[in-house]
Structure 1
Amino acid sequence: MKSRIFKKSNNLKLIIIGVSALFVFLSSCGQSNETPTIKDPIPVQDLQPDLPTATVDSSMHGIGEARDITSFELVAEMGVGWNLGNSFDVVSKDKTDWGNPLPNKAIIDAVSEMGFKTLRIPVTWEWNQSAIAPYQIELNYLERIKKIIDYGLENQMHVIIDLHHDNEWAKPIPSLAVNVNKRLHSLWTQVATYFKEYNESLIFEVMNEPRIKNIPQEWTGGTLEGRNIINDYLKTSVDAIRATGGNNAKRHLMIPTWAASTSPDAMNGLVIPNNDPKIIISLHSYFPYLFALEGQGTWGSAQDKADLRAEFDKIRQKWIVEEKRPVILGEWATKKTIAVKNRIEYAAFYAKEATARDLLTILWDDGGDYQLFNRNTLTWTSVEQAETIIKNAVK
């Protein structure tokens, strides 16, 4: 995705990450798990913008009373997914700024017809939400997002919406934390209220890759202070959603680690808000980094496969086995610069091995560097790769 170009693409950053990973490992041995959390109450009376509820067709799939099922049961139903990347998540009012056409029904229909069962819609709110209390979200923006959700539901898909590139205001640093909590509380109260009539087929992912940008630990698990502030942001968001009642009392929610990282510091530092039973762990695993995200070299040796299996085993052991929480790998991909044959081989192995470990995969497709579906021509960059993912993501 466009943001991935400027956030993860230079050699200097790789050097910094390697050094910082060693530092984090050495320093974490003596870390305490106790850090202060943000305890200022949210002044609800100051955060009450207009709270419209979407008008819906009660006969449509995804509308009506939510079933009281477990998150494991929901994830088992969902099926392999596809990301509508670089659309609603564009950091501009103009959602075509990163080269894709505006999302439309033809795009979602084509993705569904290929066999993808879950639609993830990354959403950046900053350009369509007031930065001051009561942090009103533009109604027409909610309406635009609703249309795409409905196209997914009409295709019998599960749909995920998130808070994506809102990193400039939602930074996990102490000086901003009180105001960030207020804005998150208002944002998710508005979103949850608007989509209250949607049942468990709609999932809220309360943050995407929360982190402090451009610090040495940005992609290696962050800082203890930052991780604890993120935990507080997650709790604020979950509490706001649950407080709206109705289907939102039973809605399944996704929460990420620091930067959605699979590093030990990030995964061990995540605290489940209120030990909520309907929480799904959201992780991103572009693995191995140099091949999958940077498009360097080739992949497929016995060691390459063993390393990727070990990555999946680590995730499964931590969350599914030990913590009894389902996992969604909300982003994975390979660059278009990689030979198509190698992309297909990697995709087949990734989808098969993740699925074998009950890890639901959602392919990142930005319509650009990581394109699999060309939204301008409504054609697949590689039909064989898409079909390979679908085939291998079924047990």
Structure 2
Amino acid sequence: MRLPRWTVAALTAAGLLGSLAVAAPASAQGRHPDHHHDHGPAPTAERTVEAMQPGWNLGNSFDAVGADETAWGNPAVTRELIREVADQGFNSIRLPVTWGQHEGPAPGYAIDPAFLDRVEQVVDWALEEDLYVLLNVHHDSWMWTNALPTRPDEVTAQFTATWEQLAERFADHPRELTFESLNEPQFAGVDDAQGDALLHDLNVAFHEVVRSSGGNNADRLLVLPSLHTNAGQERLDALAATLDQLDDPQLAATVHFYGYWPFSVNVAGGTRFDEVALEDMTGTFDRVRDTFVDQGVPVILGEYGLLGFDRHTGTIEQGEKLRFFEELGHQARAAGVTTMLWDNGQHLGRTSLEWSDPALWRQLSSSWRTRSGTATTDQVFVRPGDVTAPTVTLEPHGTRFTGLWLGDRRLKPRRDYALSGDRLTLTAGLLDRLTDTGTYGEQAELTARFSRGVPWTIDVVVADTPVLADATGTTEAFAVPTDFRGDRLATMEARYDDGTNAGPHGWTSFKEFDVTFAPEDGRIVLRPAFFAEVTDQRPVTLTFHFWSGDTVTYTVVRDGDAVTGTTAR
């Protein structure tokens, strides 16, 4: 059997390695009987955090609010899943756990022994796969610790009791197990400055409990969040003050990053990873590097992704999504930040053990090591009977363009494409050959290859202006019959006749993708959430924006629960 590094160290120290016999797994007994104190000095916090890169979150399992780890739709965690995470190249697992629902009453707040045993079993599985583990207190942040302003004694007592029990249970676990005080801390009814002060108190209490509990907790890496795990400068400064006061070399800071919000959920016209979204990302990594990393405090990006992924990974257009993650990987490496991908089951299948979006996975995993060339688009649209020579702007990111391919066939410069600086022009002759099928939709996949990293895919799509049809329905079930004619929906605007914005997020005419509308086969669905904020009997003009650049308008009128839709006349 394969021995993890911490087991080898412990057995060697105990003089048992040479006579090792195969025994029943410790997890079968609920608690691990063979943990030993680590010998020798602890690695520095910087070395530990560096060794944790890259990391992965076991989201929506032990943090799920409900009866057990399957309450939010994921299957029970298996040893096979943990092994696959390690085999995929991750070096750490963040284990989010919501404890309060499994605790008894005051004053002891005793954690259900069966639940604690189960969490420990998964911790041990991960350690046995040579993974670092970051164990935390998760949705308790909005379930009960947020009441600290109005119930200070009770909340502090429960928070302290929770970490006392966890510190005692895991005191003799190896240093590859790390603790995070509280996920996305927040406090009801106070401003951020007051919230910073309250979080300081909890972080200090967490530190005191763990450090005084003996065993490897004396120098185990402890991870402290900012308020809301936000990376705004004021939040980082408040956390830095706490770290300075604690003056403990075995501490790390953590923040989360889900991107510039309009892009992250595709609202307010945020369909592209544009300069605004890039500046938002750059500012985040600059601040955490300047505030912490350059001052000797390592940083863990405890969660990252795009908020639209909570539904599915199609909310953001594929190429824009890949550009985001390529850049994020680069900036994290440049800043020296360890990244932990948030995965609630939408990325690595919990039973299939396969990636739902292989292209995204290739870009993610490549970004841990190197840059990849990208482009400002991964789509080229060709209108029937009007073949032109479109230009795509490459983004080499320090790589060198090495050629354009169609499948396993290398295309020829001048005949098939021309390169001028970073401007890649596809010839009309190439597109004419690729699209001479008489059908709509994707006709070919071209691949731009670079000197390193992941190749960039460009879809060649035949499309014409979509055609919509009249429809009737209800606020709970309404869809616009749509002949997409090969085109792809980017976003939707909604305005009343007087030009004011209609529907949710009234500050923008562009509505949130999938939450308020979504393309499906042969129709565009308007969600109940859209009609919930539409005024009765006021016509709403919808403008559908497609990736080809075409726009089509449509009118809907709500009359109570009934909805009528008509095409432009």
Q: TM-score, normalised by structure 1?
A: 0.78
1:234 matched to which residue of 2? 203
**Counterpart Cα distance in 2 of 1:173 and 1:152:** 33
Which residue pairs with 1:342 in the alignment?
Answer: 320
SS at match of 1:175: coil
Residue number among 44, 49, 55 corresponding to 2:32 in the alignment? 55
Q: 2:332 aligns with which of 347, 354, 375?
A: 354
Distance 1:312 1:200 in 2: 27
Distance in 2 (CA, whole Å) between partners of 1:65 and 1:146 is: 22
Q: Which amino acid aligns with 2:344?
A: D
- Residues 59-78 of structure 1: pairs in structure 2 closer than 5 A: 64-65=38-39, 67-78=41-52
Would the aligned equivalents of 1:299 and 1:346 in 2 still touch at CA under 8 Å? no
Residue 184 (structure 1) aligned with residue 159 (structure 2): yes
Secondary structure at the counterpart of residue 88 of structure 1: coil
- The residue aligned with 1:47 is none
294, 297, 302: which one aligns with 1:325: 297
Aligned equivalent of 2:63, options 86, 89, 95? 89
The one-letter code of the counterpart of 2:317 is A
Corresponding residue for 1:162? Answer: 136
Is this contact kept in 2: 1:234–1:255, CA < 8 A? yes
Aligned to 2:363: 388
Q: Residues 145 and 187 of structure 2 are in contact (CA less than 8 Å); yes or no, is this contact kept in structure 1?
A: no
1:7-18 to 2 correspondences below 5 Å: none
Distance 1:343 1:65, change over 3 A: farther
C-alpha separation in 2, matches of 1:111 and 1:382: 16
State how far apart, in whole Å, the 1-side matches of 2:42 and 2:99 are.
Answer: 29
Offset at residue 363 of structure 1 (A): 0.7
Q: Which residue of 1 aligns with 2:100?
A: 126
Q: Secondary structure at the match of 1:379?
A: coil
Structure 1: 5+ residue stretches without partners: 1-52
Shift of 1:309: 1.8
Asked if 2 retains the 8 angstrom alpha-carbon contact of 1:300 and 1:345, the reply is yes
Native 8 Å contact 1:172 1:210 kept in 2: no
Which residue of structure 1 lines up, in the alignment, with residue 284 of structure 2? 311
| Deviation readout 1:124-162 (Å, 9 max, x if unpaired) | 001111131111111111111112112211221111110
Percent identity between matched residues is 29
CA offset at residue 73 of structure 1? 1.3
Whole-angstrom CA distance in 2 between matches of 1:152 and 1:317: 32
Q: Displacement of 1:378 after TM fit?
A: 2.2
Residue equivalent to 1:11: none
1:314 is aligned with what amino acid? R
Q: Is residue 66–residue 200 contact of structure 1 (8 Å, CA) maintained in 2?
A: no
Greater relative contact order (Cα 8 A, min sep 6): structure 1 or 2?
1
Would you say the 8 A contact 2:259–2:277 is kept in 1?
Answer: no
What does 1:269-308 correspond to in 2, within 5 Å?
Answer: 269-270=238-239, 271-272=242-243, 274-292=246-264, 294-296=265-267, 297-308=270-281
User: For residue 44 of structure 1, what is the aligned residue in structure 2?
Assistant: none
291 and 277 in structure 1: CA distance in 2 versus 1, 3 angstrom threshold: same
* Partner Cα separation in structure 1 for residue 257 and residue 105 of structure 2: 32
Q: Of residues 325, 343, 356 in structure 2, which corresponds to 1:365?
A: 343
Aligned amino acid, residue 207 of structure 2:
V
Q: Is the 8 A contact 1:100 1:376 kept in 2?
A: no
- Tell me, what secondary structure is at the counterpart of 2:145? coil
Gaps of 5+ in 2: 1-29, 371-569
CA RMSD between the two structures: 2.2
C-alpha deviation, 1:81, in angstroms: 0.8
Q: 1:83-139 deviations in whole A, cap 9, x for unaligned?
A: 110000011122212111111112112222111111011000011111311111111
Q: Which residue of 2 aligns with 1:35?
A: none
Amino acid in the other structure paired with 2:132: H
* Length, aligned pairs only: 330
**Do the aligned partners of 1:160 and 1:204 also contact (CA within 8 Å) in 2?**
yes
Return the offset for 1:249: 0.4
> Which of 138, 144, 150 matches 1:175?
150
Whole-Å separation in 1 of the counterparts to 2:330 and 2:67: 38
56 and 392 in structure 1: CA distance in 2 versus 1, 3 angstrom threshold: farther
TM-superposed CA distance for 1:300, in Å, is 3.2
Higher alpha-carbon Rg: 2
* Distance apart, 1:366 and its partner CA: 1.1
Instruction: Give 1:165 deviation, angstroms.
Output: 0.3
Q: What letter corresponds to residue 342 of structure 1 in structure 2?
A: E
CA contact (8 A) 1:173 1:226 kept: no
Whichever residue aligns with residue 373 of structure 1, its letter is: L
Deviation at 1:190, TM superposition (A): 0.9
From the superposition, tell whether residues 132 and 374 of structure 1 become closer, same or farther in structure 2 (CA, over 3 Å).
same
Distance 1:176 1:256 in 2: 22
- Counterpart of 2:179 in structure 1 is 204
Q: Is the contact made by 1:67 and 1:199 (CA closer than 8 Å) also made in structure 2?
A: no
> What is the TM-score with the length of structure 2 in the denominator?
0.55
Shift of 1:240: 0.6
User: Could you say what secondary structure the match of 1:380 adopts?
Assistant: coil
